[in-house]
Structure formats: C-alpha cells, structure tokens
C-alpha cells in the first residue's frame, strides 16, 4: 500500500489530503481511498477523517476528500 499527501489552504485553514492505494485481488489492480486533516492558523489539528469509499484513480479519491474538507470548513464558518 502506498500513500501520498497534498496540502492546500482554504479560508485560513490548512487542508492535508492523503490518498492510499489499496491492492485488490482483481486483475485490474488497486483502488484508492482518501482522508483529510485540518490545521487551523493557531496550529490546532483535527483527527484524520477517513473515507473508505474506493475510487479507481488517486485524483478522484483526493478530490473527494478535498471537497469533503471544504464542506466541513464551510459548515463551521458560514
């Protein structure tokens, strides 16, 4: 299993998205799952929020986690 991180900033919060490739028993290769963690300007960090929905590409898995992180931030700061 391999994983990668991507970091961005949204409304003053640092968003770190991580995706992992999960090997499957099918011949088509692996699938990807994702998660995110938020870090506020004062350095406080949330727990990792993990999504076990499998995606066929890492881009899709990362985009899903990023969208969920943005939604969470928007709900906290309307």
How do residues 20-60 score in pLDDT, each as one tens digit? 998 776 656 789 999 999 999 899 999 999 999 999 999 99
Give dist(CA 61, CA 17) in Å, integer.
9
Q: What angle do CA 43, 35, 62 make, to 5 degrees?
A: 110
H/E segment holding residue 58: helix 58-76
pTM over 0.75: yes
Per-residue pLDDT of 59-72, as tens digits, reads 999 999 999 999 99
């Amino acid at each position: 299993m391999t994983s990668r991180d991507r970091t961005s900033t949204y409304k003053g919060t640092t968003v770190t998205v991580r995706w992992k490739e999960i090997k499957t028993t099918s011949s088509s290769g692996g699938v990807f799952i994702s998660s995110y963690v938020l870090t506020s300007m004062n350095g406080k960090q949330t727990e990792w929020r993990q999504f076990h929905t499998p995606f066929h590409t890492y881009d899709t898995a990362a985009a899903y986690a990023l969208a969920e992180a943005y939604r969470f931030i928007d709900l906290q700061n309307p």
